[in-house]
Structure 1
Amino acid sequence: MYQFNREEYNKRMEWYVDARFGMFIHWGLYSIPARGEWVRSVEEIPKEDYMKYFYEFDPKDYDPKKWARAAKEAGMKYVVLTAKHHDGFCLFDSKYTEFKSTNTKCGRDLVAEYVEAVRAEGLKVGLYFSLIDWYHDDFPHYGDRQHPMRNNPAYTNENRNWDNYVTFMHNQVREICTNYGQIDVLWFDFSYDDMMGEKWGATKLVNMVRELQPQVIIDNRLEASGQGYGSLATGNPTPYHGDFVSPEQIIPPHGIRDVNGDPLNWEACITMNNNWGYCARDKFFKPSSMIIKKLVECVSKGGNMLLNVGPDAYGNIPPESMQILSEIGAWMKKNSKSVYGCGLAGIEKPDYGRVTRNGNLLYYHMFENTMGPVPLTGIKPGTIKKIRLLCDGSEVPISDSWVHTDYPDIVFANLGPDPVLPDAVDTVLEVELTE
């Protein structure tokens, strides 16, 4: 009978909860057609037609040191790379398939280079692994909701051996957990219909992973997809429960809590444009100002943000993404203290922004200025030790203006006569409490 160990769980989650911000990297053969990572499924491309990208794959500019440096300069603390996506192509040298980077013109174990580069920047190493494999002959084809050949009766599932597939999948996970040193995050993707939990041999799989990588943090997608919280939320966790919930392309309206009302760890995975993998025509990039505010929103609700980039066929992160990362990094250099190690403030969201908290330090994030002095809602008069602008450490006095005499139970901060905030995106006030 599985017994959840809260103490062990909290210990392995410490760095992750402190980090709050990571980089997702979706990259593989699909960067060549450049129509997103689901291109083979969406366009129902047969294996033999998709293979032309395998024979072409030769990312001449691949330099994971540049990726890791970009992540670090953006203020990210961990990186998660798609070691294998749904098309089954491996960026690592798996002995269980020929469909891998070492067999392309590239001829390199790209995961090995990636983990070395990420560690060299002092970042935590994450690997994404698809439970789905459209290349493997024993994975269901016809009638499967996702498979490229789902509508082609010529690809009958007769003589496909599911047990063989599960063994193959477990063997590849063992390789990832054995051949690349310490892995900090293992990001499985994903369960659907009856393909979940023990269908994947999940208990056996996670037991193996925990034996090989006892410190690793695992997402919840052995028992959920982008929707669904998983068994940790039910108060009755399975042996393969996720360590965090993984909402996709949405920030939970009120954070996420379990059945007892206690906060759960979660991570919103978000694209910069509208695709995970490189999509040459998708120029609908979210501005850095929006992403910064959404990162703060995640933290204020007790969650992390995993922000995606999709490098092109040569291995370059798109210039639009690099510019966005640079702008986020400029803000983080001055304000990261209000993100790292912070979480729920226990204070109602103010009209002008968000509040994050780390112990007796409250961070009031101002997305817009107020008319008159700034109300620091949730703080009792007489409990403030000091107020500072986080970006430069300058003193912000408590207001004694007559205009707020009707609100004696609220503390107001005096930002001075200028109606324009020092940072138009997010000006952060650090409020230190006396207790």
Structure 2
Amino acid sequence: MKHTPLALLLTMALAAPASAQSPLIDETPAQHDARMAWFRDARFGMFIHWGVYSVPAGEYKDQKDHAEWFLETTRMPVSEYEKFAAQFNPTKFDAHAWAALAKRAGMKYLVITSKHHDGFAIYPSALTDWCIKDTPFGKAGRDPLKELAEACKDEGIRFCTYHSIMDWHHPDWGIRRAWNDKATGTPDMDRFDAYLKGQVAEVVKNYHPGIMWFDGQWEGPWTEARGKDMYAYLRKLDPQLIINNRVGGGTGDYGTPEQTIPATGFGPGVDWESCMTLNDHWGYNKNDHNWKSVTTIIRNLVDCASKGGNYLLNVGPTAEGVIPAESVERLTKVGDWMKVNGESIYRTTASPFRKTPWGRCTRKGSTLYLHVFGRPEGGSLVVPMSNKVRKASFLADSSLPIYAGSQADGQHLALPPDLPDAEDSVIAVTVDGEVEPIVVRIPQDADGKVTLKAADADLAGGVQAEHEPPNIGFWTTAEGAASWPIEVSRPGTFAVSLDYAVPPAGAPSAFVLTAGEGTLSATAAPTKGFDDYTRAEVGTITLAKGPATLTIKPAKAVPSGLMNLRAVTLTPRP
């Protein structure tokens, strides 16, 4: 992980998130759901980036912005970097304190770097000396992964591991850095593949992680075939293991947006998890004091859960083995909120509503959890559903009065003047029957135009809206689709324009647009890249008066991504 440049973010974005059933393995949908059940229930996890890069604490010469990518960003000779191992002696490391902090914060699982891109293994690997056994800590007989796995078990936390595919230290990784002065001979990816399999097998057999969290798959030596082979290898090694999509090869069990939360999630049937830092770095940087607020952390967690995803929040311990006090303080306060409101996060599903201007919504059976970020003007909170409200009460204080009444746009809840939580006041609402959302259709403008923005789309098949302003990407499968409900008051023929971006080397961006009874087949011409947007008219479509749904789908699967789409505009033709 790192401050990822746009090109790498796009590479990660286009790694296909999981479908409802994992490929390559003979597994029924029911077996897949059973394997993924704990992950879906958990919603909140701790990420830990820790290794010898913690020793320099982000500093090198006159620069102070390094972290876990230290070896790459400084281009320090490997022979010099290896000297940090002799200084890595985290005598203050307390595995039970780390696991207890995760539990105190309300986290249900923990993912720690067994090996990052610098190739250093934080456990005693039998396959290399570039690991914990080459440090004073390891020579004293300590094994951080073993201690943390046992502590997590004691605390009821699911133990998981991160393992980098890319390896700047190993002589056989296909792209050898010029500053790797220890490597000799010609890189051999078959030998490296065997080494990598050997290491992940050590981790699985010795520490039994619930997740193998891969990263560093974007460089050319790691092919689609190697990704698929690794996924199949690990699933046979441990049939219950969950593997993220960064294993490569268009496979994996869930998607992994980084430092962002998808504007609309990934849609039904797709598991995902947003990973984020607490400050600006993944590994420890002693000069980084740009900490997220407790409010931001809580609302990010709620945002993920409301879209059917998990939140994996990172801490970067020091070389002494101490999680920074600023991290501990914030996680403890998040834990205070979770003690009261955790039922609105754990085992919940995504919001049934397209828009909730007052905050977010999660769901558990016939109970809706309304996450109110701020009291609406006038104190009336509108829930866009036709269901009657049987009961409504704040989780933090059930004595506070809430009055419900039906109106044309939904159920109106009259809130008290003061809400119980500044970060997020949660109202548990029990309704009769299945939730029936009131569809709010997008109207024509005064000039007859219809503007359909990425953030307002309903997405399916792994398609995702993210970034600012939001754009729709991840369009890799034939099942991917974006739809908008519209209301046509002035029918006629409309010119269809897209605000989009497509790299020149990408596959032809052929798509099908349907609206009402009309269908338009077109191809979006390439632009200079996924971040180079243009507006282009792609054809016309005729719409009748009344409600309609406009949908865009790829004409066929596009592994490299159909396009990034910011908006669709329908302009009346004379």
What TM-score results when the alignment is normalised by the length of structure 1? 0.87
Aligned to 2:73: 42
- State whether residues 27 and 311 of structure 1, in contact with CA within 8 Å, keep that contact through their aligned partners in structure 2: yes
Aligned to 2:479: none
Aligned to 1:247: 257
Deviation sequence 1:49-82 (CA, Å, 0-9, x none): 1012111110010111111000000000000000
SS in 2 for 1:16: helix
User: Quick one: which of 387, 390, 394 aligns to 1:389?
Assistant: 394
The one-letter amino acid paired with 1:391 is A
The one-letter amino acid paired with 1:40 is L
Matched residue count: 399
Aligned to 1:210: 235
- Cα distance in 2 for residues equivalent to 1:134 and 1:26: 17
- State whether residues 78 and 182 of structure 2, in contact with CA within 8 Å, keep that contact through their aligned partners in structure 1: no
What TM-score results when the alignment is normalised by the length of structure 2? 0.67
Gaps of 5+ in 1: 224-229, 232-240
What's the offset of the Cα at 1:399?
A: 4.3
> Could you list the runs of 4 or more consecutive aligned residues of structure 1 that deviate by over 6 angstroms after TM superposition?
154-157
- Match runs of 1:320-359 below 5 Å: 320-359=326-365
- Cα distance in 2 for residues equivalent to 1:390 and 1:299: 17
The one-letter amino acid paired with 2:31 is E
Deviation sequence 1:268-325 (CA, Å, 0-9, x none): 0000011000011111111010110011011111110000000011010001101110
1:122 aligns with 2:151: no
- State whether residues 397 and 420 of structure 2, in contact with CA within 8 Å, keep that contact through their aligned partners in structure 1: no
User: Quick one: which of 29, 54, 65 aligns to 2:85?
Assistant: 54
Aligned to 2:199: 172
1:316 aligns with 2:322: yes
- Cα distance in 2 for residues equivalent to 1:156 and 1:120: 42
What's the offset of the Cα at 1:408?
A: 4.2
1:30 aligns with 2:53: yes
Q: Which has the higher contact order (CA 8 A, sep 6+)?
A: 1
- Match runs of 1:33-432 below 5 Å: 33-35=56-58, 36-107=67-138, 108-142=142-176, 147=177, 149=178, 159-180=186-207, 182-198=208-224, 201-223=226-248, 231=250, 241-257=251-267, 262-380=268-386, 383-394=388-399, 396-399=401-404, 407-416=407-416, 418=417, 420-432=418-430
- State whether residues 141 and 157 of structure 1, in contact with CA within 8 Å, keep that contact through their aligned partners in structure 2: no
- State whether residues 105 and 332 of structure 2, in contact with CA within 8 Å, keep that contact through their aligned partners in structure 1: yes
- Cα distance in 1 for residues equivalent to 2:306 and 2:347: 11
Gaps of 5+ in 2: 1-22, 59-66, 434-574
Structure 1 residues 395 and 434: CA distance shift in structure 2, 3 A: farther
SS in 1 for 2:378: coil
Aligned to 1:236: none
SS in 2 for 1:127: strand
What's the offset of the Cα at 1:384?
A: 1.4
Structure 1 residues 409 and 352: CA distance shift in structure 2, 3 A: closer
- Root-mean-square deviation (Å): 2.0
SS in 1 for 2:46: strand
What's the offset of the Cα at 1:366?
A: 0.7
User: Which structure has more strand as a fraction of its residues?
Assistant: 2
The one-letter amino acid paired with 2:419 is L
SS in 2 for 1:106: helix
What's the offset of the Cα at 1:9?
A: 1.4
Bigger CA radius of gyration:
2
The one-letter amino acid paired with 1:254 is T
- State whether residues 42 and 109 of structure 2, in contact with CA within 8 Å, keep that contact through their aligned partners in structure 1: yes
User: Which structure has more helix as a fraction of its residues?
Assistant: 1
